[in-house]
Amino acid sequence: MSTYSKELEVAQLAVQRASILTKKVFHEKAKGTVSKDDASPVTIGDFGAQALIIQAIKKNFPGDQIVGEEEASTLRNDIKLRDQIWAFVRETTLTDANAEKIVGGPIETVDAMLDAIDAGNSAGGSKGRIWALDPIDGTKGFLRGGQYAVCLALMVDGDVKVGVLGCPNLPIDDAAPLTAESGVDQTDAEGKGVLFSAVSGQGATSRPLGTAGLGKSKSIQMKPVEDITQATFCESVEAGHSSHGDQHAIVTKLGVTKPSVRMDSQAKYGSIARGAGDIYLRLPVSATYQEKIWDHAAGDLIVREAGGQVTDTLGRRLDFSKGRTLQENKGVVAAPKAVHGQVLEVVKEVLAKK
């Protein structure tokens, strides 16, 4: 077996199973919802997906730590919310019996579900095996049927070794180019749903996101950018996550005329890794904001393994060894290796004027 092959298989199946839950929550609870109020679909999906993924990790790698976004104290006090989540968790299984067995089978009790959620309490760091988990990355995208991702990465001594992204609303077709519409209401219709994966040193792949075992995978590569003025840039939908004004100044300076594609979540990393887009910028909106490791770990590895370069806005590699945040980094510049330096220079120029 190749290095990390078991970790990869467990991560892929765990993300696939959690994605079934998030889609079910969307269809039953989210249609027409736009707020992040209590017991919103985001809350149910976040907790439910975290429980299912952590259970799969703990079943296979009991000694590993997990950095998760949620903890279960609110559920221990809010029985109604807890029972709503449990109703989804206990019904979510992979339809392939062997695949379901690999991820540990169904969670057996409510208490086991709460314990699984609470196991995502690692502080992170530079020692040992630590998983970074974002059960629903892109909550606003999730709520409106746009882009979101179920994200999981394994770090060993602070270095990302395995990365998996489940993107239920991206097209399966790797060749489908991003357009301005890619980030807006894209429900998980026929032809949608992709699972991106990478293992350090072994390249990156995509495959259809299914409901049973794993489908056939295809190797993915970033697209060579012959002419930077024709490149497709991606950015966050939320101006609070990335500075749209700085992005506009950067693309204008590079001579790009196409509008940037705005989409939520690490679906942006997956999209540029397979050549559907070219460059992803996430530009700091405040001097003090620290990115969370679970928002970048899987995407960072997938892009690098697909032939890209990922740094912060000062040209430093993203450092996942400092705890729960990227405290040594500012922003993200992800691009094909051949043009990354050119993009980074313009990013530095524009941000230096602030």
The question of whether 159 is a catalytic residue gets the answer: no
- Cite the beta strand spans of 188-299 per DSSP E: 192-199, 204-208, 218-220, 233-235, 261-262, 279-282
Nearest residue to 277 (alpha-carbon basis) of 208, 225, 341: 225
Exactly one of 46, 118, 246, 300 is catalytic; which is it?
46
In the beta sheet, which residues pair with residue 166? 150, 195
Q: SS3 of 170, please?
A: strand
Q: Residue with structure tokens 């259809």?
A: 208
Q: Are 308 and 223 in contact (CB under 8 A)?
A: no
136 is in an annotated binding site: yes
The question of whether 227 is a catalytic residue gets the answer: no
Q: Are 318 and 329 in contact (CB under 8 A)?
A: yes
* H helices present in the chain, as ranges: 5-25, 41-60, 73-77, 79-91, 97-102, 110-118, 139-143, 244-253, 267-273, 297-305, 337-352
Interacting residues of 109 by C-beta distance below 8 A, sequence separation 6+:
none
Exactly one of 22, 43, 92, 139 is catalytic; which is it?
139
Q: How many residues are there in the chain?
A: 354
Taking the C-alpha atoms of residue 197 and residue 339, their distance in angstroms, rounded to an integer, is 24
188 is in an annotated binding site: no
In the beta sheet, which residues pair with residue 167? 194
Q: At what angle do helices 41-60 and 110-118 cross, to 10 degrees?
A: 80
Residue numbers belonging to the annotated binding site: 69, 134, 136-137, 295
Which residues have a catalytic role annotated? 46, 139
Residue numbers belonging to the annotated binding site for Mg(2+): 69, 134, 136-137, 295
